[in-house]
Amino acid sequence: MDKLTHTDWVVELREVCKSFNVGKPNNIEILHNINLQLARGDFCAVMGPSGSGKSTLLNIIGLLDRPTSGQLAINGEDTTQLDDHALTRLRGHAIGFVFQHHHLLSAFTALENVIMPMMGSNGFCTAEMTAHAKSLLDSVDLLPMCHQASGSMSGGQQQRVAVARALAMNPTLLLADEPTGNLDTKSADAVFELLRRVSTEQGTSVLFVTHNPQLAARCDKTIQVVDGRVV
């Protein structure tokens, strides 16, 4: 297989397979020979029925899981040979996550939730981090609520905080796994527009998993995952 050296791609997958061993001889292959490239600023919808492998694909691209075979590069860096520590560091600096459920840390305020990724990377909190977190919360119209406990916010507000948190490290790639799935239409639209704006203004590449064809239609491109294959 050729070496992955194409630095123009934010994400590049080549012949990626993922299988789970559920006891011999039952090897279940979830993803089959996935090839995918995402350029800077791409806003790509990922669609497909439940169980088709969308979340597994996102976990692999998000460096939370390793492919069984094939190659994956993030910002031109081949991740195949990286150890767990290096993968974690790369994930922290290059990738932001927004989940279907907001998954905010309930022990922290909205502002602190946004500061967390930066503090985790640096070890301590600095005034610059706080200012950056506030500007992110301002961009999602939640600055007045920044000191509020995350648990006391509405679902839409929590998801916007989650988006702000995902952007805290200025990632080149944002992975959104059905971020609007639990929201009403108005909140879902607001979150989608927020992601769209981030992609346009900051050049962040976004992989947006959704079951909503209307939202998918508003993305730059759409990939369909069916039975572990991109079609």
Q: Which of 17, 82, 125, 143 binds another protein (CB under 8 A)?
A: 125
Cβ(158)–Cβ(104) under 8 Å? yes
Cα–Cα separations (whole angstroms), residue 196 to 73, 191, 219: 24, 9, 8
Alpha carbons within 13 angstroms on the beta-carbon side of residue 88 total: 6
Shortest CB 134 distance to another protein, Å: 8
Of 47 and 168, nearer to another protein (C-beta) is 168
Site pattern 38..67 for another protein (x: CB under 8 A): ---------------------x--x-xx--
Nearest to 17 by CA among 5, 6, 4, 29: 29
Shortest CB 121 distance to another protein, Å: 6
d(CA 231, CA 219): 17
Of 70 and 96, nearer to another protein (C-beta) is 96
Given the rule CB under 8 A, which of 38-46, 124-132, 191-199, 223-231 is the region that contacts another protein? 124-132
Site pattern 75..114 for another protein (x: CB under 8 A): ---------xx--xx-xxx---x-x---x-xxxxx-xx--
Q: Which of 130, 182, 212, 222 binds another protein (CB under 8 A)?
A: 130
> Within positions 160 to 189, which residues make up the interface with another protein, using CB under 8 A?
165, 169
Total number of residues that touch another protein (CB under 8 A): 41
**Is residue 115 a contact residue for another protein (CB under 8 A)?**
yes
**Is residue 129 a contact residue for another protein (CB under 8 A)?**
yes
* Beta-sheet pairing, 95-98 with 77-78: unpaired
d(CA 101, CA 171): 20
Shortest CB 143 distance to another protein, Å: 13
Length of the chain: 231
Shortest CB 98 distance to another protein, Å: 10
Counting beta carbons within 10 angstroms of the beta carbon of residue 85, is it exposed (0 to 12), middle (13 to 18) or buried (19 or more)? exposed
Shortest CB 111 distance to another protein, Å: 6
Q: How far is CA 131 from the centre of its chain?
A: 23
Burial code (b: 16+ CB inside 10 Å, e: under 16) for 88-102 equals eebbbebbbbbbbeb
Cβ(173)–Cβ(38) under 8 Å? yes
Binding site for another protein (CB under 8 A): 59, 62, 64-65, 84-85, 88-89, 91-93, 97, 99, 103, 105-109, 111-112, 115-117, 119-127, 129-130, 133-134, 147, 149, 165, 169
